[in-house]
Each structure stands twice: as structure tokens, then as C-alpha cells.
Structure 1
């Protein structure tokens, strides 16, 4: 299993949880290969170029299948043509968080504040072109407001400055924010998925806060090279869904803020198409460039 990011991140955590469980049910050891570079496109391209025999699969991810093809113009793969989707694993939303001193206590109040102070509301992200940056641009576009992006070299530094009061708001992964929200160092205004998350059950979604249909979750799934025989895809999908049905896997994923969302290969293929269409438009609108 090729995971296109470094160990320790959300993609690696999700991929290893699934690899461990599927190794048990398949009776074959799944070896995880973290192949990093160019925003995940190096590892994802390696999956596309592998032999379609079922022995090389990859972790699909919104960043590599939906954002990367537009952000990295020379990624070297087509998310619709170069892969055989196996199935979706789950989704992990971001959170919209503000400093406790910020006057807005709801998304509606934040939008009103931004409209009253055009071009003066900053938001932090993990860096230019990251999912948290593009989510902020998506939010501003959907709300009809202008936000000023402040890129950091990772989620950690952005949250340090947010907690210190140097910036008023940020978009950041829920596993990185929920402890600070619970401790009062941050105020959680919303989560970016269509449904609430079990890690922050009292925090509403942006969609239910007035921006209907807003969904900026990060989705994970399994992919194989295009041309992988259908019986192999079906077997892998069966074992993936069995893994997602186990209490052990569901608990481990939910601890990392990932909500399991099993489905068929066809479901995942349709989703990849729709997700790339949506995020491609958002990337172009944001003006984000490859770093």
C-alpha cells in the first residue's frame, strides 16, 4: 500500500489502520510504503504506473485526487482514468476556530463582521495550497466575503499564533483543535463536513450555519492502477468494507477524527469525479500556486 505522505500524518494513520485489519482478513501481509513528495503526487503517480495485478494499491485522498491535479499541473496522472477505485474509507472535516477574544460566536456573526470590515479579517492555514488554505478560500467565496490568507509552515505554528492572539481565526484539522476547544483556548465556530463530528458533537456544521451544501471534508479511499481485474477489485472492496465494519477499526479512525464511509467501487468512482470538479474550481478561484 503506497501512502503518498510522510508517516505520522492523517493519511498515514488512516492507511495503516486499514492495512493492519485487511492483512488479517486477506491472510496476506500488507506492507505500507510511505512515498512522499510534491504534495502527494509522487506516491500517487507511482500507484498509477504500477502493474495492475492487485499487489500494489494506494491510499486515495482529496488532496491528491481532487486538489493536486489542478494545483500541481505536472502531477503525471488523471484521477478519473489512471485508477481503479476500490472503495471509500472515510472522511475527516476541518474545523473553523477563532481566538476567544474574537467578537463572533457563530458563523453568521463572523460573516457579518467580515462584511463590515472588508479585507481586514485574516485566517491562518498550514500553508499555501494546503487543504486548510483552500477550505478558507472556499468559505470566503461561498459566504461572499474577503478573507486575507496567512500561510504557516504547518498546522502547529498556525495554532500557536492563533492561541497567542496574533491571528483571529484559522481552519485546521479537528484532531489538532478539539483539545484546545475543550480547554477554552480556542472557540470552535463550525466544522466543515455536512454532518457533525463525534469529536466535537456540540459544534455545528457550516452547512447548518447558513451556507447550505458547504462540504470541505477530506476523503480517504483505496485505489488500484487502472486495468486491475474486476474480481480483484471486488475482493479488496469486500475486505475493506469488512474492516470498516469492525468496532476496532471504527474506534481507531474516530479517535483521529475520521468518520467511516464505506461504499462500492462505483460509489467511489462517482465521488472522485465530483470531488475533483468541485476542488478544481475552488483552487482556480483561490489563485493558489504550487509551492
Structure 2
């Protein structure tokens, strides 16, 4: 056996590390865990649906997916984190209209650009919202609730844990001509806790977060926010039935940091679309309150830009000032 001198051992070690690093860099994507960053807390609608899709995505890609909930600042904390991550496909953003449609018109200072800082990968569907109230409030319809609010201006309040909830509440107050107090929260679960406890009167909430409490009689659901009745909740009327012109939908999708390699985007899009289009997954997502569908990255990109225009109109019409 030949003993190597110390300089030779160092050169050999350096060469070995370089070769290992090069081999890792050339390994086909993906070859390690993928982190899915969410702008909302555990238990939110985005969280419950992402855990299902994310698990299947990991199986399809042969790696583990890790959920990283970064709630706060209307999703800006999570969005900024992803925007500053390496565009290598290992840090993805599962988000909604909160960060990519509404925030530019709700926040005075933006720590990210919703278009320039991200790569659209795939839309995964819509998360319809519904109006829920504390069951002690003597109202069984939106019309009843409006009548109560008009009878006692300033008595009733609405909680919000997302931009969709903020805009829905303000739009309701404006179109219905009622005086409601806005009580903001970092995310939907703690907001719902206070509605259930009676500390806040009502809330517009995504179906997967609110429905279990409605089923358990802890909350009363009055209407869905979409202009058409939801296939997920066919028994609920629309807000537009009573408050004409009310039509708000929350979407969900996957994005990465800007400048992601095209081949990685294509691979992720293909796998996500396969998952979302599976009948068993569609059914499970429906149970979680999500209307699942998808499409190519280019379609999602165009949709994102259209939504920015739409939400600017919604927020301006609602008279919401930037915070």
C-alpha cells in the first residue's frame, strides 16, 4: 500500500468533492426533497388541498414533498421567500389570488412583484368562498342579515384571514349598503374561532376551512360568493341572488421563482395535471371544498395577468384603501 503525502491527500479529497458535486448537479430532476411553501397556516383550505396534491406529486417524482407554512402579512412573507429562492425547482409556491391578484392593490409596500418574480407552473382549481355567521345571529338568509345590519348600524362585524375575505366583506358592505366593522386576522382558522365564539359576527371563508364547522352546527352558512351556484354546495344560494353584482372566486396554483428552467416547468406541469385530472383525486379535493382542474403554464400565466386587472377593479369598487 502506498501512503500519500498530506498535499496529495488534500488534492484527492478536493477532486472527490468536486466530482460528487458535479454528479449531483447533473443528476436528473428531482434528486432531493421539494419544499412547497404556503402563504397560509396549517388547517386553511390551501393547506388541506396542498397536502393531498403534494403527496401525490412526491410519489410521481420519486421524492418527498415538504409543506412549509409561512403565514402572515397577507401572504407576503411566503411570496418574498419563494421569490428569493433558487429557481431550481426545489422551492415551489402554492398560492392563491391573495398574493398574486389582490395584494398589489391592498398593500402600500410590496416586497415582491407577482409577475416578474415568479414562474407560473400550473393552476389547480378554484376554492369557492361562502358567507358564514355565528349561529346565535337570528338570520337564515343574506336578506335577513342585511335587515339586521340596517336595523342596528355598526353592531355587526366581519372577520378576514385572506385577501378574498377582506374584499368579499368590503364588497358586501358596499353593495348591501350596511355598516360593518372589519376585524382582520393573520389566517382563517383563528378568525373562524372568534366567529364561532361570537366575538365576531360573520366571515367569508373558503369552503374547506368553513364546511366542517357548518356541518358541526358551530357556524351557519348563508351563501356562496360565486355568481353561479357551486357544484360542491348546490343547496346554498349565491350572494348575487340578494346582492346583485356580487361575484368573487378564489383560485389556487403552483408557481416557482423567476427564471426556472423550461424542462423543469414542463415536467412539474405534466405531473400536477395528471394528479388533478385523476377521478379519485378530483373526488377527494371536492370533499375538501376545491373544484379541481388545470392547464398548461402559458394558460396559467395569461390567467394571472387577467386576474390582476379584475382584482384591481374589485378592490377599487369596494373602496378599500391600501394599508
Say whether the fold is shared (TM-score over 0.5).
yes
Residue 233 in structure 1 maps to residue 265 in structure 2: yes
Counterpart of 1:131 (choices 158, 164, 176) is: 164
Q: What secondary structure sits across from 2:91 in the alignment?
A: coil
1:158-177 matches, within 5 Å, as 158-159=191-192, 162-163=195-196, 167-177=200-210
Query: Distance in 2 between the 1:182 and 1:2 partners?
Result: 30
Shift of 1:164: 5.5
Counterpart of 2:78 (choices 43, 46, 52) is: 43
Residue 125 to residue 53, structure 1, CA distance change in 2 (3 Å): same
The equivalent residue for 2:276 is: 244
C-alpha distance after superposition, 1:137-191 (max 9, x if no partner): 1222344444332446764565455455565433233334334434555432201
Number of aligned residues: 286
Residue 4 in structure 1 maps to residue 14 in structure 2: no
1:97-112 matches, within 5 Å, as 97-100=132-135, 102=137, 104-111=139-146
The equivalent residue for 1:264 is: 296
Shift of 1:136: 0.3
The equivalent residue for 1:26 is: 61
Off by >6 Å, runs of 4+ in structure 1 = none
TM-score scaled by length of structure 1:
0.80
Range with greater deviation from structure 2 (257-266 or 101-110)? 101-110
Q: What secondary structure sits across from 2:75 in the alignment?
A: helix
Structure number with the bigger relative contact order (C-alpha 8 A, sep ≥ 6) is 1
Query: Distance in 2 between the 1:31 and 1:176 partners?
Result: 21
CA RMSD, 1 decimal: 3.2
C-alpha distance after superposition, 1:218-246 (max 9, x if no partner): 22101122222333322221111101012
Residue 97 to residue 55, structure 1, CA distance change in 2 (3 Å): closer
Whether contact under 8 Å (1:124, 1:152) holds in the other structure is no
Segments of structure 1 that go 5 or more residues without pairing to the other structure are: none
Shift of 1:109: 4.6
Bigger Cα Rg: 2
Counterpart of 2:127 (choices 92, 104, 112) is: 92
Residue 281 to residue 230, structure 1, CA distance change in 2 (3 Å): same
Whether contact under 8 Å (1:118, 1:145) holds in the other structure is no
Whether contact under 8 Å (2:119, 2:257) holds in the other structure is yes
TM-score scaled by length of structure 2:
0.73
Range with greater deviation from structure 2 (238-247 or 256-265)? 256-265
Q: What secondary structure sits across from 2:113 in the alignment?
A: coil
Segments of structure 2 that go 5 or more residues without pairing to the other structure are: 1-34
Range with greater deviation from structure 2 (144-153 or 186-195)? 144-153
Residue 147 to residue 282, structure 1, CA distance change in 2 (3 Å): farther
Q: What secondary structure sits across from 2:300 in the alignment?
A: helix
Residue 74 in structure 1 maps to residue 106 in structure 2: no
Query: Distance in 1 between the 2:58 and 2:137 partners?
Result: 48
Counterpart of 2:255 (choices 223, 226, 242) is: 223
The equivalent residue for 2:22 is: none
